[in-house]
Amino acid sequence: MLEIGIVGLPGSGRSTLFAALTGAHGTIGTAEIPDERLAPIAEVEGSAKLTPAVLRVEDVAGTGPALLGNLRRTDALLAVVDGFSGTGDPATDRASLELELLVADRDHVERRLERVRTQAKSGDPKLKEEVAALERVLAHLDGEQPLSDYPAALPAELEPLTTKPLIVIENGPGGVDLKLEAELAELPAHEAAEFRDGPSALESVLREVFEAAAVITFFTASEKEARAWTLGRGATAVEAAAAVHSDLARGFVRCEVIRWNDLVESGSRAEVARRGLQRVEGKTYVVEDGDVLNVRSSL
CATH number for the domain that contains residue 288: 3.10.20.30
Distance CA 225, CA 47 (A): 5
Q: Are 154 and 265 contained in the same domain?
A: no
pLDDT of residue 289: 97
What are the tens digits of pLDDT across the range 16-72? 999 999 887 889 999 888 899 999 999 999 999 999 999 999 999 888 998 999 999
Residue of higher predicted confidence among 242 and 11? 242
Q: Are 264 and 195 contained in the same domain?
A: no
pLDDT of residue 195: 81
pLDDT of residue 202: 85
Q: Are 133 and 246 contained in the same domain?
A: no
What are the tens digits of pLDDT across the range 207-224? 888 889 999 999 999 999
Residue 216 maps to a domain:
no
What are the tens digits of pLDDT across the range 72-112? 999 999 999 998 876 778 999 999 999 999 999 999 999 99
Residue 33, CB half-sphere, CA atoms under 13 Å: how many? 25
pLDDT of residue 183: 87
Q: Are 154 and 290 contained in the same domain?
A: no
| Secondary element (H or E) of residue 286 | none
Residue of higher predicted confidence among 147 and 86? 147
Residue of higher predicted confidence among 281 and 206? 281
The answer to whether 114 and 136 are in contact (CB under 8 A) is: no
CA angle 251, 213, 262 (to 5 degrees): 60
Residue 224 maps to a domain:
no
Residue 207 maps to a domain:
yes
The domain tally of the chain equals: 2
pLDDT of residue 57: 94
Kindly report the average pLDDT of the chain as a whole number: 92
pLDDT of residue 23: 83
Q: Are 240 and 205 contained in the same domain?
A: no
Q: Are 94 and 242 contained in the same domain?
A: no
Q: Are 182 and 240 contained in the same domain?
A: no
Distance CA 216, CA 117 (A): 41
Q: Are 184 and 264 contained in the same domain?
A: no
pLDDT of residue 79: 95
Q: Are 250 and 134 contained in the same domain?
A: no
Residue 122 maps to a domain:
yes
Q: Is 258 exposed, middle or buried (0-12, 13-18, 19+ CB in 10 A)?
A: buried
Q: Are 15 and 83 contained in the same domain?
A: yes
Question: Per-residue confidence at 128, pLDDT binned at 50, 70, 90?
Answer: very high
Residue range 233-261: mean pLDDT, rounded: 96
Spatial CB neighbours of 130, under 8 Å, sequence gap ≥ 6: 116, 120, 155, 157
pLDDT of residue 174: 83
CATH of the domain at 155: 1.10.150.300
Q: Are 43 and 172 contained in the same domain?
A: yes
Other Cβ atoms less than 10 A from the Cβ of 23: the count is 16
List phi, psi (to 5°) of 18. Answer: -60, -45
pLDDT of residue 77: 96
Residue range 271-278: mean pLDDT, rounded: 96
- List the domain range (segments joined by +) for residue 94: 2-211
